[in-house]
Amino acid sequence: MPNETVLTNARIVLPDTIIEGHVVIRDGAIAGFDPGSAIGEDLGGDFLIPGLVELHTDHIEGHYIPRPKVYWNKLAAIQAHDAQIAGSGITTVFDAIRVGTDEDQAIRVDDMVDLGRLISQAVDEGRTRADHFIHLRCEVSAPDAVEGFERFFDNPRLKLVSLMDHAPGQRQFASLDAYRTYYQKKKGLSEDEFQAFSAKRLADSEKYSPASRKTIAEAARRHSLALASHDDATAEHVHESVSLGAVIAEFPTTFEAAEASWKAGLSVLMGAPNVVRGGSHSGNISALDLIEAGRLDILSSDYVPFSLLQAAFQIAGSEVLPLPDAIRMVTAAPAKAVGLTDRGEIALGRRADLVRVVSDGSTPPVVRAVWREGRRVS
């Protein structure tokens, strides 16, 4: 006998319109949706949207190390992270795990590999509300980036790889003044210490980055992993990313790079906090400017999970885009970019990953309920 649920009296956000009606869920999938009421759970006129798809969140590290030198139980950290993710309306999340380490980094590659293993274990054991995958962020300027990357090959949750270089003069830190502002203050370095710190990272970048980019990109292609660029700043950066097989352009720092990425067929991704705050915290291109220019495809919560939902409704509330278009940036578009064709839209046969949302258009939205594959998880 099929397991069926009906959600009624909802404003249902479809790919290209909004209808007032009901949705039928059967055996974890969307079996139907129509205007008008039906016998079922009354949503009181609230919005019903697809579950959000998050491709890049750094948030898990903060649960593992909540204070300097405080290391939490990894499985408990994953579950705490998962609870916040699901409570933000995210039903599919790509947890960003970093490989390629500095000598003074608090989280070592062994920790990252173990976190990845435990994410997979948590999913298998049904501990998580959201569906978790791994996004491996590879710091190609580090001497151990390739070694760390290879240690994840046997993890079945690995689906996405990005190539990063945070050395001075590179991409996000093309401006040396920006690099100084970020790292000297963050690490509490004297001028001499900062100069030594910068010189070492620049030397490492020149020594390791070119070969590591190619090696990791070729391995990603062999293992059918989606590849993303990160912080491209120039058309030349974009050309290199395309030649390596990138399908996603994460956080391009300039309009030039975003435009070149979009024209090359890459899905352009920017941070939802950039939208919520009205601009980049590091002085890079505004996500809103890219949206208005039609050059932005995907939003990511980056470092604030709730910003994903908040940004989508803020975009619609300010009439930058209609709500279905804004919701697509946090649902269907990210799902499509990584080949997840079974979710991201309220459509027949898709997974019943759904979020009940209250929004008045002027204040942050409220998540009232979350379903993953038809099962209430939040």
- What integer pLDDT is reported at residue 326 of this predicted model? 98
Q: Is 97:137 a contact under the CB 8 Å cutoff?
A: yes
- What integer pLDDT is reported at residue 343 of this predicted model? 98
- What integer pLDDT is reported at residue 304 of this predicted model? 95
**Interhelix angle 74-87/109-124, nearest 10 degrees:** 60
Per-residue pLDDT reduced to its tens digit, 124-135: 999 999 999 999
Q: Is 315:277 a contact under the CB 8 Å cutoff?
A: no
From 43, 22, 46, select the one nearest 32 (Cα to Cα). Answer: 22
Per-residue pLDDT reduced to its tens digit, 215-257: 999 999 999 999 999 999 999 999 999 999 999 999 999 999 9
Alpha-carbon gap, residue 219 to 238, rounded angstroms: 20
- What integer pLDDT is reported at residue 183 of this predicted model? 64
- What integer pLDDT is reported at residue 181 of this predicted model? 64
- What integer pLDDT is reported at residue 99 of this predicted model? 94
Read off the DSSP letter of residue 295.
-
Q: Is 371:354 a contact under the CB 8 Å cutoff?
A: yes
Please report the domains of the chain, with CATH numbers, ordered by start residue: 51-341 (3.20.20.140)
Which parts of the chain register pLDDT below 70? Answer: 1, 103-104, 168-188, 281-283
H or E element that contains 122: helix 109-124
Residue 177 CB contacts under 8 Å (≥ 6 apart), including other chains? none
- What integer pLDDT is reported at residue 2 of this predicted model? 72
**Across the chain, what does the average pLDDT equal?**
92
Q: Length of the chain, please?
A: 378
Per-residue pLDDT reduced to its tens digit, 45-73: 999 999 999 999 988 999 999 998 899 99
Read off the DSSP letter of residue 173.
G
Amino acid found at 127: R
H or E element that contains 25: strand 18-26
From 190, 329, 62, select the one nearest 198 (Cα to Cα). Answer: 190
Alpha-carbon gap, residue 328 to 110, rounded angstroms: 37
Radius of gyration of the chain (CA): 21
Q: How many CA atoms lie within 13 A of 109 on its CB side?
A: 19
